[in-house]
């Protein structure tokens, strides 16, 4: 992608001060660590940026990840923001782990009134010809079954007025990854979200989806290694997004600022899905 010279606001750089937008919220971030891809300068990923930003904005945050050291690294950054932050080791694709994760988060925070589901993998060869049944099942186990398990465990415990945010991908809106299991599983998140919003409506529990586009994160850079042409995608705003920009969308959906929004998919993609 040919990136234009653009000014990134403080929010996009993760440098804006907190404004107390989540004061009193108790948020569980599932997938709040960050993948190590062997680069010293990898920019912050979606999960870590959300964990830090939520703490900066006044929330208590439980950071869950299957890599405990990665979750603890996110907690170390979030703790500097002054919030109550805890790390939890859990594999979101395992039912027993998910049940324990939700129980631990509830005990640590006192309650869970914000839930962010940021777990996902892209795997298998390109196109249908490169997709095995085993890899298809693995991707769905992580990308959609894990979300169902987490919401099933957490929803009955969440108080009135809570908010749930699913992190999907622009690949769930339009094709492009060339990985059928990834595209299909990300599209399925919207269907699950609408059902969760329906179940939650009587208690004013909202559920929404964020669909990031091409993001300059560790996972994004790993994807570009496998498909160098990804870097040339013509994003209307002329650049890849940052993990902080995903985090601010999640912040809005967790806050009372979005109290009348539920069952929606919000693309954070620089106009890619709408204009290209």
Which residues participate in catalysis according to the annotation?
182
Q: Would you state the structure tokens that stand for residue 238, as one six-digit string?
A: 């002329």
Q: How many H-runs (helices) and E-runs (strands) does the chain carry?
A: 10, 7
Q: What distance in Å separates the CA atoms of residue 207 and residue 85, rounded to the nearest whole number? A: 23
Q: Would you state the structure tokens that stand for residue 4, as one six-digit string?
A: 């234009």
Residue corresponding to tokens 């994160």:
217
The angle at the Cα of 261, spanning 257 to 266, to the nearest 5 degrees, equals: 100
The angle at the Cα of 256, spanning 255 to 262, to the nearest 5 degrees, equals: 85
Residue corresponding to tokens 């170390």:
76
DSSP string of 18-58, one letter each residue = P--TTTT-EEEEET-S----S-TTPPPPHHHHHHHHHHHTT
Q: What distance in Å separates the CA atoms of residue 1 and residue 34, rounded to the nearest whole number? A: 24
Q: What are the CA-CA distances from residue 164 to residues 19, 62, 200, 203 (Å)? A: 21, 14, 10, 13
Q: What distance in Å separates the CA atoms of residue 149 and residue 188, rounded to the nearest whole number? A: 14
Q: What distance in Å separates the CA atoms of residue 102 and residue 99, rounded to the nearest whole number? A: 5
| Residue 209 near residue 188 (C-beta atoms within 8 A) | no
> Coil, strand or helix: which one is 165?
strand
Spatial CA neighbour of 211 closest among 163, 260, 256, 177: 177
């Amino acid at each position: 992608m040919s990136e234009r010279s653009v000014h990134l606001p403080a929010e996009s750089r993760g440098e804006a001060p907190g404004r107390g937008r989540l004061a009193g919220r108790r948020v569980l971030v599932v997938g709040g660590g960050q993948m190590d891809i062997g680069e010293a300068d990898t920019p912050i990923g979606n999960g870590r940026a959300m964990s830090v930003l939520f703490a900066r904005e006044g929330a208590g945050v439980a950071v869950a990840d299957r890599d405990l050291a990665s979750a603890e690294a996110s907690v170390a950054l979030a703790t500097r923001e002054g919030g109550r932050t805890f790390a939890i080791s859990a594999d979101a694709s395992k039912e027993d782990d998910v049940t324990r994760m939700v129980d631990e988060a509830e005990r640590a925070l006192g309650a869970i009134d914000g839930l962010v589901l940021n777990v996902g993998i892209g795997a298998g060869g390109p196109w249908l010809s490169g997709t095995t049944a085993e890899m298809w099942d693995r991707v769905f186990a992580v990308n959609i079954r894990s979300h169902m398990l987490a919401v099933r465990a957490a929803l009955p415990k969440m108080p009135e007025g809570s908010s749930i945010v699913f992190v999907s991908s622009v690949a769930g809106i339009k094709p492009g990854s060339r990985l059928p299991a990834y595209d299909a599983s990300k599209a399925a998140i919207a269907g699950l979200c609408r059902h969760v919003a329906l179940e939650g409506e009587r208690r004013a529990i909202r559920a929404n989806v964020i669909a990031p586009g091409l993001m300059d994160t560790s996972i994004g850079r790993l994807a570009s290694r496998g498909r160098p042409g990804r870097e040339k995608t013509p994003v209307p705003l002329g650049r890849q997004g940052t993990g902080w920009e995903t985090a601010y969308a999640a912040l809005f959906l967790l806050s009372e600022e979005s109290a009348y929004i539920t069952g929606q998919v919000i693309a954070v993609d620089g106009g890619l899905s709408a204009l290209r």
